[in-house]
Amino acid sequence: MYISADCTLVLIIQGVLLLTNGAGDKRWTQFQAASSSSVQALSCSARSKRRWCLKVTRQLKICELGQDLVALNRAMKTVKGCTSVAVGCLALVMMVVLQAEAAVVKYDWTVDYMFAAPDCVEKQILAVNGQYPSPTIRAVEGDTVVVRVTNRIPSEGVVFHWHGMHQRGTPFYDGAAYVSQCPINPGETFTYSFKVDRAGTYFYHGHFGMQRSGGLYGSLIVDLPANKKELFSYDGEHSIVLNDWWHKSIYEQELGLNSIPFRFVGEPQSLLIQGRGKYNCSKLPETVPAPPGCLTCNASSPKCAPHVIPVTPGKTYRLRIGSVASLSSLNFILEGHKMTVVMADGRYIKPFDVYNLDVYSGQTYDVLFTANQDASKNYWAGVNVRGRNPNTPTGLAVLQYLPNSETLLPTTPPPVSPVWNDTATSIAQAKQILAKVGYEAAPPKRSDRTIVILGTQNNISGNLKWALNNISYVHQATPVIAALKYKIKGVIDSTPPPDFPVQNYNVFDKPTPSTSANYGSPVYVFKKGSVVDVIVQNANTLTVNNSEIHPWHLHGHDFWVLGYGKELYNPAKDYATFNLVDPPVRNTAAVFPYGWVALRFVADNPGAWPFHCHIEPHFHMGMGTVFAEGIHNLPRLPAQTLGCGLTKQHL
**Is 567 in contact with 507 (CB distance < 8 Å)?**
yes
- Give the chain's mean pLDDT: 86
How far apart are the C-alpha atoms of 583 and 598, rounded to whole Å?
Answer: 11
Task: Please classify residue 471 by burial: count the beta carbons closer than 10 Å to its beta carbon, then call 0-12 exposed, 13-18 middle and 19+ buried.
Answer: buried
pLDDT band at 562 (very low <50, low <70, confident <90, very high): very high
Angstrom CA distances, 494 to 93, 490, 523, stand at 59, 8, 9
CATH of 104-227 among 3.40.605.10, 2.60.40.420, 1.10.287.3510, 2.30.110.10? 2.60.40.420
Lowest pLDDT segment from 285-294, 307-316, 429-438, 560-569? 285-294
Question: Model-level pTM?
Answer: 0.85
Question: Comparing 132 with 502, which gets the higher pLDDT?
Answer: 132
CATH 2.60.40.420 fits 449-650, yes or no: yes
Summarize the confidence of residues 187-195 as an average pLDDT: 98
Residue 547 has pLDDT above 60, yes or no: yes
Question: Comparing 37 with 327, which gets the higher pLDDT?
Answer: 327
The string of pLDDT tens digits covering residues 453-485 is: 999 999 999 999 999 999 999 999 999 999 999
CATH of 234-433 among 2.60.40.420, 3.40.250.10, 3.90.1170.50, 3.40.50.800? 2.60.40.420
Give all strands of the β-sheet with 200-206 in edge-to-edge order: 137-140, 217-223, 200-206, 160-163
Residue 1 has pLDDT above 60, yes or no: no
What's the chain's length in residues? 651
The string of pLDDT tens digits covering residues 260-283 is: 999 999 999 999 999 999 999 988
% pLDDT > 90, the chain: 79
pLDDT confidence of residue 632: 95
Alpha helices in 542-587 (DSSP H): 571-574
For the chain, residues classed under CATH 2.60.40.420 are: 104-227, 234-433, 449-650
pLDDT confidence of residue 295: 87
The string of pLDDT tens digits covering residues 600-649 is: 999 999 999 999 999 999 999 999 999 999 999 999 999 999 999 999 88
Task: Please classify residue 5 by burial: count the beta carbons closer than 10 Å to its beta carbon, then call 0-12 exposed, 13-18 middle and 19+ buried.
Answer: exposed
pLDDT confidence of residue 412: 97
* C-alpha dihedral, 602 to 603 to 605 to 607, nearest 10°: 150
pLDDT confidence of residue 514: 57
pLDDT band at 366 (very low <50, low <70, confident <90, very high): very high
The string of pLDDT tens digits covering residues 31-75 is: 333 333 333 333 333 333 333 333 332 333 333 333 333 333 444
Nearest Cα to Cα of residue 133 among 264, 302, 286, 324 = 324
**Is 335 in contact with 412 (CB distance < 8 Å)?**
yes
pLDDT confidence of residue 351: 98
The string of pLDDT tens digits covering residues 570-592 is: 999 999 999 999 999 999 999 99
